[in-house]
A and B are shown apart, each in its own frame.
Chain A
Amino acid sequence: MFTIEMKKFLTYLVLGFVGMFMLLPFLWMLSTSVKSASDVFAAVDNPVKAFIPGKTEWRNYNQVYDTTRAMGGGFARWYLNSLLVAVVVTLGQVTTSACAAYAFARLKFPGRDKLFLGYLATMMIPGAVTMIPNFILMRKITEWLTAAAPAVNWDASRVVYLFGRTFDVGRLVGLDSYFALIVPAMFSAYGTFMLRQYFMSIPRDLEEAATIDGCGLFRIFTSVILPLSKPALATLTIFTFMGNWQSFYWPLVVLTQDSMKTLPLGLLSFMGLYSTQWSLLMAGSMMMILPMIIVFIAGQKWFISGIQLGALKG
């Protein structure tokens, strides 16, 4: 029989081993990202030495930043795009989901339960099913709008002047537009479902008290329901934000222009150009995941509780 101390030691040993397994790839990414071009291939003879860069070349990061600037603004622009898309989509999704969840959880109206069932049913549909028509919509919408309102040049890319510089901000709608990146993503059946489940668990007494005090439905929503749902709202916020920061498939489908790309797609086109310069590629990858690590560690409490919240649908 093991003693308690032995068991503790063994547990830590296993946990540490698994932890190394999780972290080693990232450490290798970091060490490769600061290697000089000649050091990159050091692993051939000695896998351990491969983790220690001979000379630390932080310049690699500058180089990635500088060489991608010709690609529609490069990393600076891709950060901005990812941030813009993630922030606006998250705000939109949390707002529309919360309002709809309140309606489903608390308000009575004809067809409510059938509609909710419809929402639930669509959660099972593969993304590809809806993505094809949505792509066709974005592809064709400029033609349709030109036919309807020929006065506006729907096909042209727009330019914005800011801080004495010009920024290409893509079309108003359709392919290569912020509209395509943001608007279809702002509505979520999953978010509605998750918040509805949470709202249902709030005791009704408080709302009744607020009604007696003369509060309208909107006041009840903003000053009773929402403050009591902070954990669920925080969870949805952080999940939506991270998901959109990383979103890949839909942006890949609707974007061609480098200046409109979000981080994952920017990194992908960077990969196409520097396919064998591994130190630069790893520096680019680091630049993509570092902000996420920070957001994750800052909000990890909400992740853990959120995963358990989401699983209630089982």
Chain B
Amino acid sequence: MAQSTRGRATGAGYLFLLPNLLGFLAFTLLPVVASLALSFYAWDLFTPPKFVGLQNFAALMHDRDFWYYAGNTLFLMLAIPVNILGSLLLAVVMNQKLRGIVVFRTIYFLPTILAGVGTYLLWRWIYNPDYGLINAVITNWFPRWFNDGIRRLGVEWPPQWLTSVTWAKPALMFMSFWTVVGGYNMILYLAALQGVSPELYEAANIDGANAWQKFWAITWPMVSPTTFFVLTMSLIGGLQGGFEQAFVMTRGGPAGATTTISYYIYNHAFAWNHMGYAAAIAWVLFAAVFGVTLLNWRLGGRIVHY
């Protein structure tokens, strides 16, 4: 009897799994293996693939474009700590029993949920150097002495934003702040804050702690698991990110200033038909993501307060 039930469960287990497993094998596992194999070949899709051993990886190490774009990717990732801190502060302000909080939460989440070609197009318009909203504010409302002063420092002002090598990356970073600050991370922080016992704050009040002290002594350590999770996910996302924005807003320019690693992979694979080289870059990216994850696991236990 026991034997037959187990036999039934085994068959049933595979049967329930089958549709998903087939798709998983065909469109995830097999492609992973294939792209690893591909990274040892040179292939333009038209002539037969040619085995080149480790040449793709060797070429990548000396590819100055690649390192420049890797630098761009890291530069854009500098926005991550600012975005996370913004989400935390916003969550702290929102973590009160006030009417209308749900309305604010919905509004703050809108940019995250709508992020895509539509909002990127909108920001292209906002950053338009001649008729855009931001430069209109700078030229009309900023005091003259301020604008002149910045120009005298030799800074391009008002910025040409997306068409400027200097300002294109900061422009994308500011947009990313708008996009993510009220999104997933804030919701996670809000949930974490609601789990902090009010008694801790009451005790601190009795000791006469001010808001600043309470934040660093109670809130920050209590939400550290969330910070850790959010930071890990943001770093992983940041390493792989930047393609869609740049494709819609700048085409990776000016002069490659907004091309990220993922954009570079796109160019090699889908614009220039360098399948093997693209696969090699993708695997290097994977290694970086893996490294970050591993590092975070190692460090996590030491830094995070559970």
Residues of A within 8 A of B (CB): 8, 11-12, 14-15, 18-19, 21-26, 28-29, 32, 40-41, 43-47, 50, 95-97, 99-100, 102-104, 107-110, 112, 115, 118-119, 122, 124-137, 139-140, 183-184, 186-187, 189, 192, 217-218, 221, 242, 246, 248-249, 252-253, 263-265, 267-268, 271, 278, 281-282, 284-286, 288-289, 292-293, 296-297, 300, 303-304, 307-308, 311, 314
Contact = CB atoms under 8 A, between A and B. Distances in A.
Contacts of B14: 103, 109
A100 B21 contact: yes
Contact of A307 (B21, B118, B130, B187): B187
Nearest to A130: B31
Contacts of A300: 106, 109
B254 to A, nearest CB: 16
Interface string B161-194: 0000000000000000010001010011001000
Q: How large is the interface on B (under 10, 10 to 19, 20 to 34, 35 or more residues)?
A: 35 or more
B216 interface: no
Contacts of B226: 311, 314
A95 B23 CA distance: 13
A115 B21 CA distance: 9
Given A109-B10, A109-B14, A132-B279, A281 B121 contact: yes
Contact of A99 (B19, B122, B126): B19
Closest 9 CB pairs of A and B: A187-B23, A109-B13, A100-B20, A314-B229, A107-B13, A133-B31, A133-B34, A103-B16, A130-B31
A303 B131 CA distance: 36
Contacts of B220: none
Interface stretch (B53-61, B71-79, B144-152, B240-248): B240-248
A127 B240 contact: yes
A284 to B, nearest CB: 8
Given A18-B108, A47-B141, A128-B266, 9 more contacts: A25-B123, A43-B133, A47-B140, A109-B9, A127-B240, A131-B269, A187-B19, A249-B243, A265-B117
A268 B124 CA distance: 13
B23 A96 contact: yes
Interface in B237-260: 239-240, 243-244, 247-248
Given A40-B131, A126-B285, A311-B188, A97 B116 contact: no
Interface string B97-141: 010000011111111011111110111011010111100110011
B275 A136 contact: yes
Contacts of B115: 246
A267 B16 contact: no
A267 B283 CA distance: 32
B174 to A, nearest CB: 11
29 contacts: A18-B108, A23-B107, A28-B126, A47-B133, A47-B140, A50-B133, A100-B19, A102-B16, A108-B10, A115-B21, A124-B293, A126-B286, A131-B31, A133-B38, A133-B279, A135-B270, A136-B34, A217-B9, A248-B117, A248-B244, A252-B270, A263-B117, A264-B116, A282-B121, A296-B110, A296-B114, A300-B109, A304-B105, A314-B232
B281 to A, nearest CB: 8
B187 A132 contact: no
A108 B16 CA distance: 11
Interface in B287-304: 289-290, 293
B222 interface: no
B296 to A, nearest CB: 11
Contacts of B111: 22, 25
B203 interface: no
Given A126-B289, A136-B45, A192 B182 contact: no
Nearest to B236: A124
Given A107-B12, A132-B38, A47 B279 contact: no
B265 interface: yes
B96 interface: yes
Contacts of A136: 34, 45, 275
A108 B13 CA distance: 7
B35 A122 contact: no
Interface of B: 6, 8-10, 12-14, 16-17, 19-24, 27-32, 34-35, 38, 45, 90, 93-94, 96, 98, 104-111, 113-119, 121-123, 125-126, 128, 130-133, 136-137, 140-141, 178, 182, 184, 187-188, 191, 225-226, 228-229, 232, 236, 239-240, 243-244, 247-248, 262, 265-266, 269-270, 275, 278-279, 281-283, 285-286, 289-290, 293
Contacts of B132: 43
A296 B105 CA distance: 12
A99 B178 contact: no
A142 to B, nearest CB: 13
A246 B116 contact: yes
Contacts of A311: 188, 191, 226, 229
A119 B110 contact: no
B35 A130 contact: yes
A218 B269 CA distance: 44
B86 to A, nearest CB: 9
Contacts of A128: 240, 262, 265-266, 269, 278, 281-282, 285
Contact of A187 (B24, B31, B119, B229): B24
Contacts of A25: 111, 119, 122-123, 126, 133, 178
Contacts of B279: 129, 132-133
A173 to B, nearest CB: 13
A285 B118 contact: yes
B104 A126 contact: no
A12 to B, nearest CB: 7
